[in-house]
Amino acid sequence: MDNLKKYESIIKNVIRKYAVYYKESNLEEYEKQLVFDSENHHYFLMDVGWNDMKRIHFCLLHIDIKNDKIWIQKDFTENGVATDL
Amino acid sequence: MDNLKKYESIIKNVIRKYAVYYKESNLEEYEKQLVFDSENHHYFLMDVGWNDMKRIHFCLLHIDIKNDKIWIQKDFTENGVATDL
């Protein structure tokens, strides 16, 4: 497996893991969106929904693959996602 | 062309149009990321970069296709993107 495919698979698994973790642990019932753009190599975990009248639209995780490297563009996980990569 | 393909094509064109517009009109040089997840039908236009020491990570546009309908999840374009859809 080449690096790109390997990195993509790792990133997708990390995002899926956090999606499950947040779904199981959070009381909020926002939609967890897994966004996988395998062509441009952008990968997101999003919170989308409403808290009463307040709009929730928040990026929990954003990871890219650029020049054969993994870029953590945004990371709002508690302990940081880097240890999972 | 079925609705899904038609909607996807329209959304991608709108996002591409705004990416070009912002690139040409803005003085800021943040990376404009076009995020197209054609499997789960999430489509984003993102600003990613740095303004001096300040991190820029901002979603300008987020459009989904859900249940054969177009959902504008976030829209920070000046006049609203709905007229382009």
Question: Quick check: is B83 in a domain?
Answer: no
Q: Check whether B28 has a pLDDT greater than 80.
A: no
Say if residue A26's pLDDT is above 70: no
CATH of the domain at B61: 3.30.310.110
Q: What are the tens digits of pLDDT across the range A41-84?
A: 999 999 999 988 999 999 999 999 999 999 999 999 887 887 78
Of B82, B80, B57, which Cα lies nearest the Cα of B69?
B82
Q: Are B22 and B60 in contact (CB under 8 A)?
A: yes
Listed in sequence order, the residues at least 6 apart from B26 whose beta carbon sits closer than 8 Å to its beta carbon are none
Q: Is A7 inside a domain boundary?
A: yes
* Smallest Cα distance from B25 to chain A, Å: 24
Q: Which of B33, B36, B64 is the closest to A39 by Cβ? A: B36
User: Amino acid identity of B68?
Assistant: D
Q: Give domain status of residue B82, yes or no.
A: no
ipTM score for this prediction:
0.90
pTM comes to 0.92
Measured between beta carbons, the chain A residues lying within 8 angstroms of B39 are 36
A83 occurs within a structural domain? no
Q: Where are the strands (E) in chain A, listed by range?
A: 31-37, 42-51, 54-66, 69-75
Number of domains chain B is built from: 1
CB-based burial of residue A42 (10 Å sphere; 0-12 exposed, 13-18 middle, 19+ buried)?
A: buried
Domain that holds residue B56: 3-76
The answer to whether B54 faces chain A, any CB pair under 8 Å, is: no
Q: Residue B20 and residue A32: Cα distance in Å, rounded?
A: 29
Q: A82 lies in a domain?
A: no
Q: Residue range A9-29: average pLDDT? A: 87
